[in-house]
Homo-oligomer: A and B are copies of this chain.
């Protein structure tokens, strides 16, 4: 467990250095994640982020976002008009970042941006345009649906929510049945993360439109059940979530969607804590899933898996600023032991959603082949 905890904590790798204003290009545009009509935050073509917050009587406004993706912070300065403004000291890494404001010692969200569930709260988000943003862009292609279902859960005595991605052809081919990927979020996130932050539905739409994959269903549900609580991962027990997923959600999905309801056509993957959950559940219940994916979420050793014949794919990934050598070596060891194992390293990203968007893009092309 210890090495997982380390993997799950944020890597620190501050490479950019403070630059003077003359080197910052004046081509700032509103972030793609801003609320309708909002001009700030903005991002320029170099990846600098600029913030503006109105709070005329505040003593201090600091944006938690700074260099190195998730570390550091950007203090804002108040102008004569009562508006606080500031720019990150260097370019931000590509992709999605969570952040928040600290105003006079209290934590609040930036009223300019949409909120995303992370760190067990709805946080502000900003998008730094990536060179490869095309694969998760909203394009003029046929779109699948993201279906909110409320499924009964006896073990937790409530209705629980899941989101189910169905492909553009799903409603037109009334007799076709599909394989299913169960895809988990990370610690502090929830079942909205893979659609909102990850654009999982758009990644699938684009892959299908390009003819790169055959359609499959993706199911996303909340992985932080009662026993996990909000205290962290040290006392993590998989039982509660495993029961919800395997004994309640899967039967519900198999009876309400046109799935191919057998082990060879069922995959599980997850990011960070969701990878840890994937690893535990696939090892505990080898009769349920045949394709495994750990995205910045640990590795399997060959000895972890009792029956090699039941495993069709092991996919291991992380950002290049995480633990790429460990991930590659684990895949090599698995391959040497006869598994169909693949590693993927996302260049110049860390424990953030750009790593996981890219991971899903690659994983999807390897599933159910």
B-contacting residues of A (Cβ < 8 Å)?
35-37, 53-60, 82, 101, 103-109, 111, 114-115, 120-122, 138, 140, 143, 145-152, 158-159, 171-172, 174, 230, 256-257
Contact = CB atoms under 8 A, between A and B. Distances in A.
Contacts of A105: 54-58, 82
Contacts of A101: 108
A141 to B, nearest CB: 9
A256 B37 CA distance: 31
A189 to B, nearest CB: 11
A121 B230 CA distance: 29
A205 B79 CA distance: 52
Contact of A147 (B53, B59, B115, B148): B148
Nearest to A174: B174
Return the 6 tightest CB-CB contacts between A and B, nearest first: A55-B106, A57-B104, A143-B150, A56-B105, A58-B104, A146-B148
Given A35-B122, A138-B159, A174-B174, A106 B145 contact: no
A111 B124 CA distance: 11
A105 to B, nearest CB: 4
A149 B148 CA distance: 11
Contact of A140 (B59, B120, B149, B152): B152
A60 B57 contact: yes
Contact of A55 (B104, B114, B172): B104
A58 B150 contact: no
Given A59-B57, A121-B35, A143-B159, A103 B108 contact: yes
15 contacts: A35-B120, A54-B107, A56-B105, A58-B104, A58-B106, A82-B105, A103-B104, A106-B111, A107-B111, A115-B115, A143-B149, A145-B147, A145-B149, A146-B147, A172-B256
A230 B36 contact: yes
Nearest to A110: B108
B106 A54 contact: yes
Given A54-B107, A145-B147, A145-B149, 8 more contacts: A36-B230, A37-B230, A56-B105, A59-B104, A82-B105, A109-B111, A114-B122, A146-B148
Contacts of A106: 53-56, 58, 103, 111
A290 to B, nearest CB: 25
A108 B106 CA distance: 11
A53 B159 CA distance: 31
A103 B54 CA distance: 10
Nearest to A54: B106
Contact of A171 (B107, B138, B230, B256): B256
A36 B120 contact: yes
Contacts of A108: 101, 103, 108-109, 111
Given A147-B148, A159-B140, A103 B58 contact: yes
A147 B150 contact: no
Contacts of A56: 104-106
Contacts of A37: 120, 230
Nearest to A105: B56
A35 B108 CA distance: 14
